[in-house]
Amino acid sequence: MMDKFTTLTGIAAPMPLVNIDTDMIIPKQFLKTIKRSGLGKNLFDEMRYNDDGSEKPEFVLNQPAYRQAQIIVAGDNFGCGSSREHAPWALLDFGIRAVISTSYADIFYNNCFKNGILPVVLPAEAVAKLMDDARNGANARITIDLQAQTVTGADGQSYSFEIDPFKKEVLLNGLDDIGLTMQKASAIADFEKSAAQSRPWV
Amino acid sequence: MSGPRTLYDKIWDAHVAHQAEDGTCLLYIDRHLVHEVTSPQAFEGLRMAGRPVHAPDKTIAVPDHNVPTTPGRDKHIDNEESRIQVEALDKNARDFGINYYPVSDIRQGIVHIVGPEQGWTLPGMTVVCGDSHTATHGAFGALAHGIGTSEVEHVLATQTLIQKKSKNMKVEITGKLRPGVTAKDITLSVIGATGTAGGTGYVIEYCGEAIRDLSMEGRMTVCNMAIEGGARAGLIAPDEKTFAYVMGRPHAPKGAQWEAALAWWKTLFTDEGAHFDKVVVLKGEDIAPVVTWGTSPEDVLPINGVVPDPESFEGGKVEAARRSLDYMGLKAGQKLTDIQIDTVFIGSCTNGRIEDLRAAAAILKGKKIKDGMRAMVVPGSGLVRAQAEEEGLAQIFIDAGFEWRLAGCSMCLAMNPDQLSPGERCAATSNRNFEGRQGRGGRTHLLSPAMAAAAAVTGRLTDVREMMGETV
């Protein structure tokens, strides 16, 4: 069952690079699992570890201030590339519950909502300001309130964000999509009956 | 419906099983393609909830991402994790009664090549797969896009997806292509023009004379990379070429059903005056053979260009370009044709079809690859492989010094043993040049099959037109 997302106050890690792709978030060698759990240790694997497995100290999530980060403030077009849901699984397993960026790739964006992760879209100026907050680590915690649709920075300034009402509802209540759709089984059956007449070759 | 509609509108309207007041729809899915990497957790979810697959006859599975491309793989896969994933797909296909092409079947191949080849993909359908390159099927005028594993489970359980309609973009390629310019150059040039986020939130319809002139294989190449431009899906209206390709395929309709299907398919075009939210127009004659220089598919330049200066970009792209050049081991101002190549990979769902192999073989005929070059061809399916052998293409590749492999995704994403070593530089016909995509530290230049073949011969990125005797 998916965890609800209501409000979150936490440390945000700054990742200003644009076009952070899902191969960076979780490289393909970790897609060979048949489970959803345990991917956090390989989150951002190639950016985070040297060839010998030791940590790269300069990588943001290896720095003491960000080991407990729950939010990532990211450059434009976060999560582009492959459809792998292993990307949000790895983020979640590490402890990331929200991402803040100007834009996301479509499939990654949808995948987040299936896993209790909130991808917040804000204008470039707001993301730049929150990126500065994130650079201050634990001294500048960021608060996200999904019900109110606001992100509040360390200086108390709030930014409103837009979100699809259905996706918001699902996240606020930790709802199971399949269960919701199953309630509309008769509509699906009706559609199938009529499609069998109109497009029998399908 | 009132008013003129786009192709996307028409397919969408024909598949809405339920619409809520806020516009959230249940979109009915006609074909669900499944592979071994993004499905195990979805089938496990079904088992835990005691749910069957809602429409097993509309669900088609094939292992492709993990499979080795060397002989003996039908008996044993060395890598344990890969073997477990392929075995899990075998078992899930059996337990849930879905259509399946195991590794031992000649019809096995990359899921996006097998679907069209077997006639599963038809015009006007909705097609999904837990793979971002599902956009490929849009070449048939099918609304096709990638989904995550939770959505795979949702489709398995209900044969629907919860969706809101995307915006609609028209990408028109006018006029004729010049010699040496291919579908791959079109699709990379579009991404170069719009950026990797340019299509975010859109479904693209590709149109114009240069698109109409493409074969079905070429159209699949164009739609395949719609996702690299950020789009949800790419579409091309079906026409006589589409119908000719589909007719007689194993799962295409026959007899009276064929006639009925054809009558509907012929209505699948964008009406005069229908609304697009965004329009992009490129002139076919302005498109050159292109290559990528960086680590994003938008990093595209004509082959006669030079590596750009990161400072010439704006915003976050400056730092990204610096990082790219560092990773790629390139310097600003360096001529692209001076870049030395270690490896050539021809294959993938982008360029692993018969026409792609013909284009590469036409360049390679009677030639040898550069000394020390590692070059491999991985056909997109067992049937493409067999056809290439029959046409004598396989022998041309082998004589030139290429390895002639079995079908799969292979070095496009390097989940199987076909990988680059750190620093190894590859000219690849695949779709992503991300850091580490083809192997940790590997450096990827994306290009067309003909350009890849030319690079294999000279050992550096090469303007294929020089080898065709064309004046540039």
Residue A90: CATH number of its domain:
3.20.19.10
Between CA B420 and CA B403 the distance in angstroms is 15
Residue A148 inside a domain? The answer is yes
Whether A126 shows a pLDDT value over 90: the answer reads yes
Average pLDDT over residues B177-202: 97
**Is the overall model pTM greater than 0.95, yes or no?**
yes
CB atoms A23 and B164 under 8 Å: no
pLDDT of residue B470: 66
Indicate the SS3 state at residue A23.
helix
Per the prediction, chain B carries an average pLDDT of 97
The 10s digit of each residue's pLDDT in B83-128 is: 999 999 999 999 999 999 999 999 999 999 999 999 999 999 999 9
| Cβ–Cβ below 8 Å for A201 and B253 | yes
Taking CA–CA distances from A35, the nearest residue in chain B reads: B41
Instruction: Please give the backbone phi and psi of residue B167, each rounded to the nearest 5 degrees, phi first.
Output: -80, 170
Q: What is the mean pLDDT of residues B426-453?
A: 98
**How is residue A121 annotated by DSSP?**
E
Number of Cβ within 10 Å of residue B78's Cβ equals 11
Query: How confident is the model at residue B93, as a pLDDT?
Result: 98
Give the residue with greater pLDDT, B472 vs B168.
B168
SS3 sequence of chain B: CCCCCCHHHHHHHCCEEEECCCCCEEEECCEEEECCCCCHHHHHHHHHHCCCCCCHHHEEECCCCCCCCCCCCCCCCCCHHHHHHHHHHHHHHHHHCCEECCCCCCCCECHHHHHHHCCCCCCCCEEEECCHHHHHHHHHCCEEEECCHHHHHHHHHHCEEEECCCEEEEEEEECCCCCCCCHHHHHHHHHHHHCCCCCCCEEEEEECHHHHCCCHHHHHHHHHCCHHHCCCEEECCCCHHHHHHHCCCCCCCCHHHHHHHHHHHCCCCCCCCCCCCEEEEEEHHHCCCEEECCCCCCCEEECCCECCCHHHCCCHHHHHHHHHHHHHCCCCCCEHHHCECCEEEEEHHHHCCHHHHHHHHHHHCCCCCCCCCEEEEECCEHHHHHHHHHCCHHHHHHHHCCEECCCCCHHHCCCCCCCCCCCCEEEECCCCCCCCCCCCCCEEEECCHHHHHHHHHHCECCCHHHHCCCCC
Question: Quick one: DSSP state of residue A28?
Answer: G
Q: What is the pLDDT of residues B75-90, one digit of tens each?
A: 999 999 999 999 999 9
> A181 in a domain, yes or no?
no
pLDDT at residue B1, as a whole number? 52
Identify the H or E element spanning A191. helix A185-198
Whether residue A164 and residue B200 make contact (CB cut-off 8 A), yes or no, is no
Do the Cβ atoms of A114 and B148 come within 8 Å?
Answer: yes
Q: Minimal Cα–Cα distance from A161 to chain B, Å?
A: 17
Q: Which of the four pLDDT bands, split at 50, 70 and 90, describes residue A1? A: low
Q: Inspect the interface and report whether the beta carbons of B158 and A182 lie closer than 8 Å.
A: yes
Chain A contact set for B323 (CB, 8 A)? 17
Give me the number of domains chain A comprises.
Answer: 1
Average pLDDT over residues B442-456: 98
User: Is A188 close to B17, i.e. CB distance below 8 A?
Assistant: yes
Here the ipTM equals 0.95
Size of interface A-B (CB pairs under 8 A): 186
pLDDT (tens digit, 9 = 90+) per residue, B225-254?
Answer: 999 999 999 999 999 999 999 999 999 999
Average pLDDT, chain A: 96
A87 belongs to a structural domain: yes
Looking only at the bridges linking them, the beta strands covering A158-160 and A150-152 are: antiparallel
B395: contact with A, CB 8 A cutoff: no
> With the CA atoms of B269, B271, B274 and B278 taken in that order, what torsion angle do they form, in degrees rounded to the nearest 10?
30
Q: Give yes or no for residue B160 having a pLDDT over 80.
A: yes
Domain contains A192:
no
Listed residue (A88, A80, A71) closest to A131, CA to CA: A71
Chain B's closest residue to A89, CA to CA, is: B149
- A160 inside domain: yes
pLDDT 10s digits, A76-123 = 999 999 999 999 999 999 999 999 999 999 999 999 999 999 999 999
- Give the pLDDT confidence score for residue B469 in this predicted structure: 77
Q: What percentage of chain B exceeds 70 in pLDDT? A: 99
- Tell me the chain B residues in contact with residue A35 when contact means C-beta distances shorter than 8 Å: 41
**Residue among A32, A111, A164 whose CB faces B148 most closely:** A111
Is B470's Cβ below 8 Å from some Cβ in A?
A: no
Which of B22, B296, B435 shows the shortest C-beta gap to A166? B22
Tell me the mean pLDDT in the region B278-297: 98
Domain of residue A161: give its range: 7-174
Cα B170 from Cα A12, distance rounded (Å): 39
Among B125, B148, B227, select the one facing A85 at the smallest CB separation. Answer: B148
Asked if residue A107 is part of any domain, the answer here is yes
B84 lies within 8 A of chain A by CB: yes
Nearest chain B Cα to A33, which residue? B81
B21-38: average pLDDT = 96
A57 lies in some domain: yes
pLDDT number for residue A2: 83
Q: Is residue A182 part of a domain?
A: no
- pLDDT on residue B353: 98
Q: What is the pLDDT of residue A137?
A: 76
Question: Is B91 an 8 Å CB contact of chain A?
Answer: no
Which chain A residues are closer than 8 Å to B37 by Cβ? 31-32, 84
In the predicted model, what is the mean pLDDT of residues B252-281?
98
Measured between beta carbons, the chain A residues lying within 8 angstroms of B85 are 32, 34
Mean pLDDT of the region A165-187: 95
- List the structure tokens of A143: 């608060």
Q: Is B149 on the interface with A (CB under 8 A)?
A: yes
Residue B296: its chain A contacts at CB < 8 A? 19, 21
| Position B343 pLDDT exceeds 70 | yes
Across the interface, whether the CB atoms of B38 and A84 are under 8 A apart is answered yes
